Amino acid sequence: MIEVRNVTKRFGSVVAVDDLSFDARPGRVTGFLGPNGSGKSTTMRCMLGLDRANAGSASFAGRSYTSIVNPLFEVGSLLDAGFVHPGRSGRNHLRWMAMSNGIAASRVDETLELVGLTDAADRRVKAYSLGMRQRLGLAGVLLGDPGTVVLDEPANGLDPEGIRWIRDVLTHLARGGRTVLVSSHLLAEIALMADDLVVIGRGRLIEQCSVDEFVDRHSTKWVRVGSPQLDAIAVAATAVGARVERVDGQVADIHGITAAAVGEIAARDAIVLHELTTRSESLEDAFLRATAGAQEFASEAPSPVASSAPLPPPIVDRPGGGGR
């Protein structure tokens, strides 16, 4: 269990983290989400005692990180895969970590095998790809088989296969009862691996909830209907307060009504349907909507949400289809 309470961190006049509180529970992957510059990494550094928080505290199973002797047995952390001396081999990087906490040398080889780096273990880290460095970083996290795992943007720069690998590892760790906190600035990425979300913007908590709740709360949904009798269904839907936007002669998007209600109307009025699907904005749109105004740096390019142009192809919610 991770408990963060009222953490505040200032850099001069800039408040990077502002009275932030949240929890991460055992057995679940908690996604720590926020735009670039929102204070995720600073929060994690404060949690681990690497940055000195101006106020507040963080505890891991009831204890502050700096009070833990040999913390690799309790908390595994990876803040940046690049925090490795480039001239040292991957094996030696893990060896010094293991040695510092009294972890058996045999565990180094075990974790190297776990992350698939055995063959490259004696190569210097500067010859590693980004994906290999992430794997090495994760091997360091796993060295002490800790009950809590804290990862800062572990999928950053990884290819789809690498992202899937990270996702599978984190899910596996959480299913084993561990507390997993993983940060990202991409909701689509985090939504694939997280059960819960902590969303921050400008160092402040925006929301803590499950991924499903977050998407439900922040993404707009509508019903796409395809029918040769589109006029009839449009009239019936409008009559119950829905708003109809025609896409073409036989397809329309209906807002303010559920797919079930449209289906019942169609059945009642004997209207033929070719398509009836619930659609929603993309996860990124939901994220941008939630963090609107909380972006540290924003370009002048028009936001996809604010744009009057058609939205990018929406994600379709199908039964069992994994809409997120």
Partner 1 sequence: MINLLRSEVLKFRTVRLHVWLTIGAVGLLLVVVGLVGMLSSEPRRTRPDDLMSLIGGFSVLIAMTVGVLAALGITSEFSHNTIRPTLAATPQRTTVFVAKAVLSTVYGLVVGAVAVVAAYLLGSLLLSARGASVGLSGDDGSLAAFLGVPILCALLALFGYGLGLLLRNSPAAVSLIILWPLLLESILNGVLSVAGVDEPTRLLPYTSAFALVIPNPSDAPGGRIYGGVYFGMFALLITVIGIAVNNRRDA
Output the CA torsion sign for 258, 264, 268, 271: positive
Kindly identify the residues of this chain, within the stretch 127-146, that bind partner 1 according to CB under 8 A: 140
3 state DSSP class of 4: strand
The answer to whether residue 311 forms part of the interface with partner 1 (CB under 8 A) is no
Non-local (6+) Cβ contacts of 284 within 8 A are 186, 187, 188, 304
The answer to whether residue 97 forms part of the interface with partner 1 (CB under 8 A) is yes
Binding mask 187-216 for partner 1 (x = CB under 8 A): ------------------------------
Q: Which long-range contacts (CB under 8 A, 24 or more apart) does 159-163 make?
A: 159/131, 162/131, 162/134, 163/189, 163/192
The answer to whether residue 72 forms part of the interface with partner 1 (CB under 8 A) is yes
Q: Shortest Cβ distance from residue 64 to partner 1 (Å)?
A: 9
The answer to whether residue 107 forms part of the interface with partner 1 (CB under 8 A) is no
3 state DSSP class of 277: strand
Give me 65's structure tokens. 């990180």
Residue 66 or 303 with smaller CB distance to partner 1: 66
The answer to whether residue 85 forms part of the interface with partner 1 (CB under 8 A) is yes
The answer to whether residue 12 forms part of the interface with partner 1 (CB under 8 A) is no
Q: How many CB atoms lie within 10 A of CB 239?
A: 9
The answer to whether residue 71 forms part of the interface with partner 1 (CB under 8 A) is yes
**Contact at 8 Å (CB) between 140 and 92?**
no
Selected from 68, 209, 232, 261, the binder of partner 1 by CB under 8 A is 68
Residue 51 or 281 with smaller CB distance to partner 1: 51
**Contact at 8 Å (CB) between 32 and 195?**
no
The answer to whether residue 105 forms part of the interface with partner 1 (CB under 8 A) is no
Residue 85 or 217 with smaller CB distance to partner 1: 85
Q: Strand pairing partners for 210?
A: 196
Residue 85 or 175 with smaller CB distance to partner 1: 85
- Tell me how far CA of residue 293 lies from CA of 77, 181, 223, 297, in angstroms: 30, 25, 29, 10
Selected from 69, 239, 270, 309, the binder of partner 1 by CB under 8 A is 69
The answer to whether residue 83 forms part of the interface with partner 1 (CB under 8 A) is yes
- Count of residues of this chain found to bind partner 1 when the rule CB under 8 A is applied: 32
Selected from 89, 148, 219, 291, the binder of partner 1 by CB under 8 A is 89
- Tell me how far CA of residue 250 lies from CA of 97, 146, 246, in angstroms: 64, 57, 8
Selected from 2, 4, 24, 79, the binder of partner 1 by CB under 8 A is 79
Instruction: Measure the CA–CA gap between 106 and 35, rounded to whole angstroms.
Output: 40
**Contact at 8 Å (CB) between 311 and 281?**
yes
Selected from 15, 50, 205, 251, the binder of partner 1 by CB under 8 A is 50
Which residues contact partner 1 (rule: CB under 8 A)?
Answer: 45, 48-52, 65-66, 68-69, 71-72, 77, 79-80, 82-89, 92, 95-97, 99-102, 140
